[in-house]
Each structure stands twice: as C-alpha cells, then as structure tokens.
C-alpha cells in the first residue's frame, strides 16, 4: 500500500515521534482508573521495538473529546502510569504536547527512554490539522511512526500534518497488522467470503454494505438496521427502529444485493426497550406496539449454516441489544459460530461493540484479528483511502 515498516527505517540514535491510540476508557466515578488497557497493550510491541533498537520515543495520543479545552479529567496521566508499569520503566508525562518546555524534555531524552505528551485534543488545532501546530509537534522528533489505526480515518495534525513535514515515516507494528488483515478482506479474499453487518443504523454503513456486496459472497444483516431494510421491502416492523430517510437507499441496496443479502427470518421482540420488558419470538411481521431487539433461533441456525462453509469472515456490529441479557443470545451465538470455523477461516472483527461481544462470548483468542478501530475499519471496508495511511506514503 506504499508505506514503509519499522524494518525499513533507521531507528538507532533517532528520536521517534509516534502517534499511538491511547484513547482508553476511564472509570466514570474517579476519572483516573483505566477500565481496559487493551489499547495500551496493543501498542507495546511497537514501543518496545523502537526503544529496543536504540531510539528515544515521544508518544502522542488523544483521550476523550475535550474540544480544545484543558480538562484534568481527560489527562493522559493514568496512561503514562500504566504504560510505565507494563514497560517496567518510568514514562514521564509532558505538561503539554507543544511548546519550549516540551521541546526541552524531548531533547533531553536518552536512547531507550520514552516521553508521553499530554492530550493532543487539549488544542483545537489538532483536529483542524493546523500547519503551525503540526510543525510544533514535528520539532519533537526526527522520524515519524503511526501506530494509531483507530484514528487513521481522521486528517488531523498528528496523523497527517506531522508526516507531511517529517519525510522519514513508517507504520508501526499494530498499524501494519491492521492494514494487512483488512487488505485481505478487500483484495483477493479467500472464498467463500461472508460479511456480517449489524448495529443500530444503516446510515453509517451504506458505503460498507455497498462495497461488501461487490466483494463478499454473502452479507448477513442483523441489529436494528434490519428493520429499515424490512420496511423498505414492505414488511410490517411495528415500533422497531427505522430510519425513514434511508428507506430509498435501503431499497437500492436490496436490489443490488439480491441473492447475496441475508436477513433475519425470526425476531426476538419486546414491548419496551428495557430489561424488564415482555419478550417473545415471532417468525413473521413485528406487531404494532412491539420492537425487534435481537435475531431469533431460526436466524441463528440459518446464519450458522452459511458461516460453516466460510473461509473469510468479517464482522462489524452486534445482532441485537446485547448489553441487555434478554437480547444478547443472537450476538453471542454469532461470536461462537465464528469461533467454530476459526481453524479454517480468516476471521476479522471490527472494533467497538463487535469487540465487546467477542470478549463477552469468551472467544477472543480464536479470532484471527480483532481491530482497534471501529470507524477506521468501516472506512477501509467501504473502499475509502484512510488519510493517516496515505500520509505514510
């Protein structure tokens, strides 16, 4: 794809500026405890490789959405502390991400040492890809590594602006792995190739579905987006979530995907969106006053048969409201279906809810690749060029 890897750039004696994705969840009560360090752990191979090859390392990331304000609740201090614990050495936190004081700290870094910059998004110029801000960040290193696949679909200063002025650049190990797997799914994939697309809304996945229909042998639909499609086909969907302004596009996709799109044959429905709702399963239209919140057992079996023959599987989006136990069976069953064929199929799971479902089902170890970037993976699967990847060329 035109990018260099860590093995293709000199690291010894360099000061590497690395864009990481440390946008980790923090405990809502104390605002300091990291509730999942997965993204930090995923960055460790790249961090350790750079430090192990005799470079010093300046790490940059965002956390949350501070909208250009300095908010202590979104400080990267907990990340610096956890990263230091995992590395077995102190990782200092800079007081900011640009400026003379930060430049002094970066200049004083010795080989094998790391410095974490404070939250990039404390400055509105980060998301605006401001040239001056990019130049300020670029002064902190003499080689650029992007390991933040989760932000690669954003044209921000740290993902696009910095590499534009720092010609020695490469993809980190995590970025490289993400691109290799998603390239498998979009260029000459193994067959039969089955894509599973779920989630609440069709609007964010129109381009993904359209592109996958040109790539995959079957596309299985689940989640609340099902009901926009079903209403477009003339079915009764009761009080299920429907994007009325997307019915025309749904009809278009139904026509394009005839014979390849598969929809739920039965539905777990409820009379309210709550854990204590009345629940039943129907194999026909959803009656008024009820809403579809999960796929039913007949659909699970149908999808299981299709997945059983697959040699490439891509999954993005849950089959139902799996956060509520009564509507989790479909999502968990699909996760276990994917696990059952993992010995013969390449299995790729998008980030976000899909990753949480895989973890909830306890099958994460069997999946070929679990992405760290929900939005970026969707952009890639839609056929779009990711700005953060294009900037590495």
pLDDT of residue 32: 87
User: Residues with catalytic annotation?
Assistant: 39, 201, 352, 375
Kindly state the percentage of the chain with pLDDT values over 70.
Answer: 100
pLDDT of residue 123 exceeding 70 = yes
- Using CA atoms, how far apart are residues 301 and 299, in angstroms rounded to an integer? 5
Range with lowest mean pLDDT among 30-34, 95-99, 130-134, 301-305: 30-34
Are residues 351 and 377 in contact, defined by beta-carbon separation less than 8 angstroms? yes
pLDDT of residue 288 exceeding 70 = yes
- Using CA atoms, how far apart are residues 328 and 331, in angstroms rounded to an integer? 6
CA geometry: angle 298, 324, 150, nearest 5 deg? 95
Band of residue 390 on the pLDDT scale cut at 50, 70, 90: very high
- Using CA atoms, how far apart are residues 212 and 194, in angstroms rounded to an integer? 9
pLDDT, tens only, 304-322: 999 999 999 999 999 999 9
Pairing relationship of beta strands 279-282 and 267-270 according to DSSP bridges: antiparallel
Query: Mean per-residue pLDDT for 154-180?
Result: 97
Among the residues of the chain, which ranges form H helices? 38-52, 77-87, 100-107, 124-127, 131-138, 162-165, 173-186, 206-213, 226-232, 247-256, 297-308, 329-340, 353-361, 374-381, 387-390
DSSP 10: -
pLDDT of residue 162 exceeding 70 = yes
Edge-first strand listing for the sheet containing 312-316? 261-262, 218-221, 193-197, 312-316, 346-349, 369-370
pLDDT of residue 70 exceeding 80 = yes
For residue 233, the surrounding DSSP H or E stretch is none
The token duo for 168 is 């020695």
Kindly state the percentage of the chain with pLDDT values over 90.
Answer: 92
pTM more than 0.85: yes
């Amino acid at each position: 794809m035109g990018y260099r890897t860590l093995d293709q750039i000199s690291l010894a004696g360099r000061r590497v500026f690395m864009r990481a994705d440390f946008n980790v969840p923090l405990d809502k009560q104390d605002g300091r405890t990291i509730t999942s360090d997965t993204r930090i752990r995923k960055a460790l191979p790249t961090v350790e490789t750079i430090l192990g090859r005799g470079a010093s390392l300046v790490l940059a990331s965002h956390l949350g959405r501070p909208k250009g304000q300095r908010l202590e609740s979104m400080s990267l201090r907990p990340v610096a502390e956890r990263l230091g614990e995992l590395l077995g050495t102190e990782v200092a936190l800079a007081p900011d991400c640009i400026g003379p004081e930060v430049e002094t700290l970066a200049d004083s870094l010795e080989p094998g040492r790391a410095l974490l910059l404070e939250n990039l998004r404390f400055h509105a110029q980060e998301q605006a890809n401001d040239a001056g801000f990019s130049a300020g960040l670029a002064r902190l290193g003499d080689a650029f590594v992007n390991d933040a696949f989760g932000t690669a679909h954003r044209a921000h200063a740290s993902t696009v602006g910095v590499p534009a002025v720092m010609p020695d650049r490469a993809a980190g190990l995590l970025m490289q792995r993400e691109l290799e797997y998603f390239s498998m799914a979009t260029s000459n994939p193994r067959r039969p190739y089955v894509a599973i697309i779920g989630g609440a809304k069709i609007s964010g996945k129109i381009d993904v579905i359209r592109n996958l229909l040109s790539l995959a042998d079957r596309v299985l639909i689940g989640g609340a987006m099902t009901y926009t499609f079903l209403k477009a086909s003339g079915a009764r969907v009761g009080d299920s979530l429907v994007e009325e302004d997307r019915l025309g596009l749904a009809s278009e996709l139904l026509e394009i995907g005839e014979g390849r799109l598969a929809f739920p044959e039965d539905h777990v429905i409820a009379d309210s969106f709550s854990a204590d709702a009345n629940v039943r399963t129907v194999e026909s239209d959803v009656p008024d006053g009820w809403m579809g919140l999960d796929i039913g057992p007949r659909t699970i079996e149908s999808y299981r048969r299709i997945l059983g023959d697959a040699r490439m599987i891509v999954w993005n989006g849950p089959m139902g409201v799996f956060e509520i136990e009564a509507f989790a069976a479909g999502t968990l069953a699909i996760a276990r279906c994917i696990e059952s064929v993992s010995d013969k199929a390449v299995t790729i799971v998008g980030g976000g809810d899909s990753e949480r479902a895989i973890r909830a089902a306890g099958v994460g170890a069997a999946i070929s690749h679990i992405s760290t970037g929900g939005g970026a993976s969707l952009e890639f699967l839609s056929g779009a060029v990711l700005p953060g990847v294009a900037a590495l060329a």
